[in-house]
């Protein structure tokens, strides 16, 4: 029942701009890690959304200045600041969507998995607070390694007795944004027309763009497929190396996260044609968490789009099988961590 094919109408509607939204909508969004590299530009983009009435900014430091600065923008959302553990609960009360970009980013030479030891604990603590204060909210996890932090979040929510798998999302939107950009450039297409589903997870070979499912339908040579796939899989590392020790992608991630927030709010607002790729609890493969296209509705994930996995090319099928052991290990690492801490 959780599976549904994407319709051509849905495909068209996906291209619609922010402008169609109803001006009377008013949702509360919290950003945890709001004074960080992602948090600040993300807060700015959310402040621009006509769907948001309250923007709650939480961090362990430096959030007052960010909130004061943002609050002067003449858009409807009211901005509230919350600093430190004693203000975390209040930052979450009544919130519809919680976005979590709190945690340390990579430096050159590191894998996302190298962030596990620090970020697992940060995500665990923040999701416990979400469970206690806004258990019905959509939860967007950005903190890496998301292949493990999302399973950690699920375990924490289960331990608190409030796990709703339809409302827990690992952010893979940046992989789609990158795939769309690189394919449009390579094939000289209008960016607005290009949509590449990206499945699997969000690290190295677990990121699998399904180029054969690109819309509009387009032919790639074997060489193009291999080059584009490698570029999409390594795009995070490309940014980490260019920033040379000053962190990882922040601006493109804020852009991607703002898109996912907007899609979530449109879904909450009753828009029946909202589709995004996300890393969620899944039964599309034997892995308990898997990124695929999902249909979003008022209650979160309404359907997993299974049709993208039909008729894969030989290259995609092999890549899918090759990513499973790594993704499985990352999921198990997250679950084991959360269970050990319980
Ligand atoms: P950053 O260091 O610039 O910002 C992180 C922020 O988190 C800081 O302001 C810090 O004070 C805050 N923080 C730390 N512990 C906290 C806690 N317990 N509660 C609240 N806030 C806390 O890092 P960044 O560049 O913004 O990246 C953040 C995370 O996002 C990293 O883990 C990075 O790997 C990840 N990321 C994910 C994706 C993705 O596609 N999913 C893309 C880019 C970055
Ligand atoms: C990305 O894809 O840019 C993020 O996951 C950050 C990173 O460490 O590469």
Would you say the CB of residue 60 lies under 6 angstroms from ligand 1? yes
pLDDT tens, residue by residue, 158-195: 999 999 999 999 999 999 999 999 999 999 999 999 99
pTM of the model: 0.94
Ligand 1 closest atom vs CA 175: 40
pLDDT at position 24 is 59
Q: Whose CA is nearest to atom 29 of ligand 1?
A: 143
Nearest residue to 282 (alpha-carbon basis) of 233, 314, 229, 324:
324
Ligand nearest to the CA of 144: 1
* Measured distance CA(127)–CA(121) in Å, rounded: 10
Q: For a ligand 1 pocket test, name from 105, 121, 277 the mutation site with the most ligand atoms within 8 angstroms of its C-beta.
A: 105
Contacts of 90 (CB under 8 A, 6+ apart): 82
Buried b (16+ CB within 10 A) or exposed e, 239-276: bbeebeeebbbbebbbbbbbbbbbbbbbbbbebebbbb
pLDDT average per 10 residues of sequence, the chain (342 residues):
42 48 76 98 98 98 98 97 98 98 98 97 98 98 98 98 99 98 97 97 98 97 98 98 98 98 98 98 98 98 98 98 98 98 88
- Catalytic center residues: 202
Q: How far apart are the first and last CA of the chain?
A: 33
Would you say the CB of residue 149 lies under 6 angstroms from ligand 2? no
Ligand nearest to the CA of 250: 1
Would you say the CB of residue 249 lies under 6 angstroms from ligand 2? yes
Farthest-apart Cα atoms in the chain, separation:
56
Q: Whose CA is nearest to atom 2 of ligand 2?
A: 236
> Are 212 and 312 a contacting pair, CB within 8 Å?
yes
| CB-neighbour burial class of residue 161 (10 A; exposed 0-12, middle 13-18, buried 19+) | exposed
| CB-neighbour burial class of residue 124 (10 A; exposed 0-12, middle 13-18, buried 19+) | buried
Contacts of 136 (CB under 8 A, 6+ apart): 164, 167
pLDDT at position 159 is 98
Residue with tokens 């499912």: 213
**ipTM reported for the complex, 2 dp:** 0.99
Ligand 2 closest atom vs CA 202: 5
Residue with tokens 């039964």: 283
Give the H or E element holding residue 138.
strand 138-141
Q: For a ligand 1 pocket test, name from 83, 92, 99, 101 the mutation site with the most ligand atoms within 8 angstroms of its C-beta.
A: 101
């Amino acid at each position: 029942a959780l599976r549904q094919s994407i319709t051509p109408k849905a495909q068209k509607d996906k291209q619609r701009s922010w402008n169609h939204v109803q001006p009377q909508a008013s949702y509360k969004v919290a950003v945890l890690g709001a004074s960080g590299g992602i948090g600040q530009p993300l807060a700015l983009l959310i402040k621009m959304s006509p769907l948001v009435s309250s923007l709650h900014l939480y961090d362990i430091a430096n959030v007052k200045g960010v909130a004061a600065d943002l609050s002067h923008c003449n858009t409807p959302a009211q901005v509230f600041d919350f600093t430190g553990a004693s203000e975390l609960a209040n930052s979450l009360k009544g919130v519809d969507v919680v976005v979590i970009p709190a945690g340390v980013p990579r430096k050159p030479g590191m894998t996302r998995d190298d962030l596990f030891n620090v970020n697992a604990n940060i995500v665990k603590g923040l999701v416990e607070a979400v469970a206690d204060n806004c258990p019905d909210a959509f939860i967007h996890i950005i903190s890496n390694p998301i292949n493990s932090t999302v399973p950690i979040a699920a375990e924490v929510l289960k331990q608190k007795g409030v796990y709703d798998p339809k409302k827990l999302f690992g952010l893979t939107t940046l992989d789609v944004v990158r795939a769309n950009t690189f394919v449009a450039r390579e094939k000289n297409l209008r960016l607005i027309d290009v949509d590449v589903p990206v499945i699997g997870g969000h690290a190295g070979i677990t990121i699998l763009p399904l180029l054969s499912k690109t819309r509009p339908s387009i032919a790639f040579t074997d060489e193009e497929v291999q080059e584009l796939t490698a570029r999409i899989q390594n795009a995070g590392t490309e940014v980490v190396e260019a920033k040379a020790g000053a962190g990882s992608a922040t601006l493109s991630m804020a852009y991607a996260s703002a898109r996912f927030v907007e899609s979530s709010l449109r879904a909450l607002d009753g828009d029946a044609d909202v589709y995004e790729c996300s890393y969620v609890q899944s039964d599309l493969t034997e892995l308990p968490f898997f990124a695929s296209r999902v249909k979003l509705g008022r209650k979160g994930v309404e359907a997993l789009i299974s049709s993208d996995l039909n008729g894969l090319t030989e290259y995609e099928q092999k890549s899918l099988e090759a990513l499973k052991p790594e993704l499985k290990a990352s999921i198990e690492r997250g679950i084991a961590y959360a269970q050990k801490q319980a």
